[in-house]
Amino acid sequence: MEKFAKPIDKVYSTYYWKIFWSPNSPDQIEREFKNLPIKNILIGYSKFQGDPEPLHRIDCLMSKIKFLMENYLNDALKIEIYTKKPGNLARFGADPLVITLYDNDILIPAQNVTKLPENLRLFLDEIYRCRRTGETYKKPEREIDWSKDEIFNINAYSFTKCIDVLNWCNKQIANGFPRPVVEQFYRKYESKLISK
């Protein structure tokens, strides 16, 4: 296993996953050879401390699915991906399961099937088609419909509680946005909530 220079961000990651190793995976065989305890499950998070995630949750999810499929799925029985509330630690067993990746198939919980955005459906179809045919997945070109300046437009959000705004702001600071800009957004949004 490789060591990462930056620590993972367990608090402000949008997603986390559990990789259930196959008993025949190289990592398991190496551990057995070295008389190390076998680790059947590896838990990972979607970001490192101080690094930003994609602004759109679906873009973040798609990039993590691609990463997990390219780097871990061949040696895993399955990979379960969960979402969590930003600003909280993972609540194992309580956080909602988003998707389960298998070698040649996916499992989407029944409550998520109708909520799946079209771009995520198309992505999953294409990345599994490429996996079956041995082709390399190429991300389709698309126009970006937002700019980084718009992230701090208070009219683009519909928070109803100050605590939700605060959690969002803390995540943006953790993602590396300048504290004064984030604090200004918080003050403006707080005024918007009070004036309602």
pLDDT value for 141: 59
Q: Which residue has the tokens 């996916």?
A: 106
Gap between the Cα atoms of 21 and 59, Å rounded? 26
Task: Report d(CA 177, CA 189) in Å as an integer.
Answer: 17
pLDDT of residue 171: 84
Q: Is residue 124 pLDDT above 70, yes or no?
A: yes
Average pLDDT, the chain: 82
pLDDT of residue 65: 93
Provide DSSP, 39-84: --EEEEES-BTTPPPPSSHHHHHHHHHHHHHHHTGGGEEEEEEEE-
Rounded to an integer, the average pLDDT of 69-90 is 86
Of 5-9, 163-167, 175-179, minimum mean pLDDT range: 175-179
Helix (H, G, I), strand (E, B) or coil at 195: coil
Euclidean distance between CA atoms 56 and 185, whole angstroms: 18
- The pLDDT of residue 170 is 87
Q: Which of 55, 104, 52 is nearest to 78 (CA)?
A: 104
Distance CA 171, CA 133 (A): 39
Entry field: residues in the chain: 196
* Average pLDDT for 90-97: 86
Overall average pLDDT of the 138-156 stretch:
63
pLDDT digits (tens, 9 = 90+) for 8-22: 888 888 899 999 988
Q: Answer for the pair 75, 26: CB distance below 8 angstroms, yes or no.
A: yes
DSSP 122-152: HHHHHHHHHHHHTPPP-PPP------GGGGG
Per domain, the residue ranges of the chain are: 15-133, 148-194
